[in-house]
Amino acid sequence: MNAGTEKESVRSLLFFGKDFMIGSRVEGVARNHSLTFLRADKKESLQSIEPPPRIVLFDIASTGDTLPEMVAGLKKTYPDTSLVGLAFHTDEASLQKGKESGLHTLITRSHLVDGLNRILEKRQ
């Protein structure tokens, strides 16, 4: 996943998940904010992201038991990257997992677009 120059490091959004419907909505938000959209669904994909993304959005249901390890590694390697979790508002286990894993922000699927837009507008 090599997206380009240092200047572009804050110009990408990486979606970690397998749901193509959600991925397409995330891609639309990324494009509306002039961000490069990247997709990953394997933990190993997160070890060599160059340049670092502006945001990593995790579909918490797709992370299995590796979410805490991935979040800790990304915080250490890419301290300026926002780490965001996504879950159904009724999926209390995933929301709790996201909180315990140390994600910066949690958003629900029903507020995906609005939530991402708010995060991106704050970081401009």
Q: Which pLDDT belongs to residue 52?
A: 84
* Long-range contacts, 73-78 (Cβ 8 Å, 24+): 73/46, 73/47, 74/46, 75/102, 77/52, 78/49, 78/52, 78/53
Give the pLDDT band (50/70/90) at residue 8: very low
Q: Which pLDDT belongs to residue 10?
A: 54
Judged by DSSP in three states, 88 sits in coil
User: What's the mean per-residue pLDDT of the chain?
Assistant: 86
- Report the percent of the chain where pLDDT is more than 70: 90
The domain containing residue 26 runs over which residues? 6-122
Whether residue 106 has pLDDT greater than 60: yes
Whether residue 119 has pLDDT greater than 80: yes
Number of compact structural domains in the chain: 1
- Check if the beta carbon of residue 27 is closer than 8 Å to that of residue 37: yes
Asked whether residue 114 is assigned to any structural domain, the reply reads yes
Stronger pLDDT, 72 or 3, i.e. the higher one: 72
Segment 35-78, tens digit of pLDDT: 999 999 887 777 777 788 999 999 998 888 899 999 999 999 89
Asked whether residue 1 is assigned to any structural domain, the reply reads no
* Beta-strand relationship, 12-16 and 36-40: parallel
Q: Which pLDDT belongs to residue 123?
A: 66
Lowest average pLDDT, out of 2-16, 38-52, 74-88, goes to 2-16
Q: Which pLDDT belongs to residue 86?
A: 95
Domain with residue 48: its CATH number is 3.40.50.2300
Cβ neighbours for 14, distance < 8 A, ≥ 6 positions apart: 1, 38, 39, 40, 46, 49, 53, 55, 56, 57
